[in-house]
Structure 1
Amino acid sequence: MFARVKDVAALVGRIGIAVVFFAHGLQKWNNGVDATANMFEGLGLPLPTVAALFTIAVEILGSIAFVLGLALPLVGVGYAIVGVGAIFAVHIDNGLTGQGGYELVLVLALAGLAIGFNGGRLSLDHLLFARKREHEGSERLSAQTA
């Protein structure tokens, strides 16, 4: 029973984190890639158009994948990269807990990273890679008994 609760908790966590990232990505998309790139350029980010496209892709497409449980480690790393970028480009001067501080961004980035590497069994990753895990497990068992 505890395993089932862990899986549901991971799913709920994935949904909650994805909703926040998705909302920010949708906002950037609605403003336009050029406007987002201009904002990033104003913040001093290198390759602002590439950064804008990457951020929008992670926040929108990554969030859809995160809810579905697809490519979880990749999306988790993407969330961490976007979060660290936001911390250093926007929030760092405000401190951890000041107005506009980086505490929420830090928590979202690290939670996305952590859940990305342990997204639970209610995920497409678990479904798609179950055979591979079973095969690797039987190979290990064979090697141990030989």
Structure 2
Amino acid sequence: MYGRIQDVAALIGRIAIGVVFLVHGLEKWNAGIDATAQMFEAVGIPLPTVAAIFVIAVEVVGALLFIVGFATPLVGVGFAVVGIGATFAVHLDAGLTGEGGYELVLVLGLAGLALGVNSGRLALDHLLVGRRRSDRTAEPVS
């Protein structure tokens, strides 16, 4: 019973985190790679065009994968990189809380990482990989 609750909680968490990243990614997508790269360059992010493509890909494609639970460890690492990058490049000077603070981007990135490695059984990762792994580790029936 408790395992089911954990799986549902992980699913809800993945959906919530994924939707927030998706919305932010779509804003950057709609602004365009050039505009996003210019904003990144203005705050001192190196290789701003490469960074813009990476962030848009993580926030859009990664968010969709995260919501359905596919490649969640990889996406979780991407979310952590984006969240920590945003913390240091944009929000750090504003402090933890308040206008422009880094609490949201830090929590989103690290929650994405945590849910990425603990995505639950209601994820495609579990259906495609987890079941096979548990079948191999199960004791043979005599």
Q: TM-score range by the shorter chain?
A: over 0.9
Alpha-carbon distance in structure 1 between the residues aligned to 2:17 and 2:65: 12
Deviates more, 1:83-92 or 1:124-133: 124-133
Give the match for residue 32 of structure 2: 32
Report the CA distance between 1:98 and its aligned residue.
Answer: 2.8
Matched, 1:88 2:88: yes
Matched, 1:3 2:33: no
SS in 2 for 1:113: helix
Give the match for residue 60 of structure 1: 60
Q: Give the number of the structure whose alpha-carbon radius of gyration is greater.
A: 1
Matched, 1:133 2:131: no
Give the match for residue 121 of structure 1: 121
Letter in 1 for 2:32: G
The one-character-per-residue Cα deviations of 1:62-100 (angstroms, maximum 9, x if unpaired) are 000001100000000000000011001110000111311
Give the match for residue 110 of structure 1: 110
Percent identity between the two aligned chains: 65
Query: Which residues of structure 1 form unaligned runs of 5+?
Result: none
The one-character-per-residue Cα deviations of 1:19-47 (angstroms, maximum 9, x if unpaired) are 11000000000000010011101111111
The one-character-per-residue Cα deviations of 1:80-131 (angstroms, maximum 9, x if unpaired) are 0000110011100001113111011111111100000000000000000111
Give the match for residue 99 of structure 2: 99
Query: Which residues of structure 2 form unaligned runs of 5+?
Result: none
SS in 2 for 1:98: coil
Deviates more, 1:17-26 or 1:125-134: 125-134
RMSD: 1.1
Q: What's the TM-score, normalizing by structure 2? A: 0.95
Alpha-carbon distance in structure 2 between the residues aligned to 1:69 and 1:31: 27
Alpha-carbon distance in structure 2 between the residues aligned to 1:7 and 1:21: 21
Deviates more, 1:99-108 or 1:54-63: 99-108
Letter in 2 for 1:118: N
Structure 1 runs, 4 residues or longer, greater than 6 Å off: none
Alpha-carbon distance in structure 2 between the residues aligned to 1:23 and 1:34: 19
SS in 1 for 2:119: coil
